[in-house]
Amino acid sequence: MTQESPIKAALESAVLVAEPPAPDVKAAVFRQAGRIRFRQRLAAGVSALATVGVVSAVALSLANGGGGQGSEPLLMPAGDPPSATATPGSTPVPGLKDGAAILAALHSLVPQGITVTDKDSQDGYGHVLLTEPGGQTTLKVNVAANYPEPSLKPDFFHCDAQSEGPGVTCEQVTLSEGSLMVIRQGPTGDLPPAPGVVSWTVAVLLHGGLRVVVTEFNAVQVKAGPATRPEPVLTVKDLKALALDKVWLG
């Protein structure tokens, strides 16, 4: 053996010791699988704890604020509060029925400056005569309960050109809360109509089945005439306000 042989052998031995040991593949796989199972068990445990916490909080809330048997739960869905506006299927409205009360209501609702004279009344009906410098006007009001709901659109509240009388204009309006209104203007409809006599009508159908019809004529004798002025004294705007007044609800 030469002098270099021991040195060379020592170096080769050192290199062999310094090399990393070959990995144990099977053991590494089992270690990795163990770590995965641990993480899964940990996540499942956290989820279960969270669920228990929510259920406990709800149970505690109901126990503290439920108010006893039959009370509503405190957990409310998000959204707008329910509207108080009447809807189809509302409680029936009786309406102002007494004839004397209807006449009194007309006295209070007719604009100032117009003289109101009682003519006739009965249950659900009032008839007065309006007098001012331009002439006289007949005003009639009919209040009737137990009509169909506005959503059913009774025939009276439909404008039909074929069924309206000659020269009669008709306008149908659905109000914001769903009530129906119809406005008719034209000859009285009597055959033959009295010369120059016209009628203006505003009718409303409210939720609860209450129908209010307000009609005026530019005459004292509606069927026979004569016309006492070119047009009735109250404007259509006046009639709308009168028909929609809450006094008719009873």
Give the pLDDT band (50/70/90) at residue 229: very high
Give me the pLDDT at residue 215, please.
97
More confident residue, 72 or 181: 181
Judged against a pLDDT cut of 50, whether residue 2 lies above it is answered with no
pLDDT at 152 (0 to 100): 76
Between 231 and 24, where is the model more confident?
Answer: 231
Place of tokens 């009737």: 144
pLDDT in tens, 174-206: 998 889 999 999 987 666 778 899 999 999 999
How large is the average pLDDT for residues 66-78?
32
Give the residue with greater pLDDT, 32 vs 114.
Answer: 114
Q: In angstroms, rounded to a whole number, what is the distance separating the alpha carbons of residues 87 and 100? A: 31
Query: Which of 57-61, 166-170, 179-183, 216-220 is predicted least confidently?
Result: 57-61
DSSP 186-249: EE---SSPPTT-EEEEEEEEETTTEEEEEEEESBSSTTT--BSSSS-SS-HHHHHHHHT-GGGG
pLDDT for res 189: 67
Per-residue pLDDT at 146: 86
pLDDT per residue over 6-31, tens digit each? 444 443 444 333 344 444 444 444 44
Distance CA 66, CA 64 (A): 6
pLDDT the model gives residue 218: 96
Cis peptide, bond prior to residue 187, ω within 30 of zero: no
Specify the fold of 99-249.
Jelly Rolls (2.60.120)
pLDDT of residue 172: 93
CA 234 to the chain's CA centroid: 32
Q: What is the mean pLDDT of the chain?
A: 73
Structure tokens at 137: 């006007």
Greater confidence (231 vs 23) lies with 231
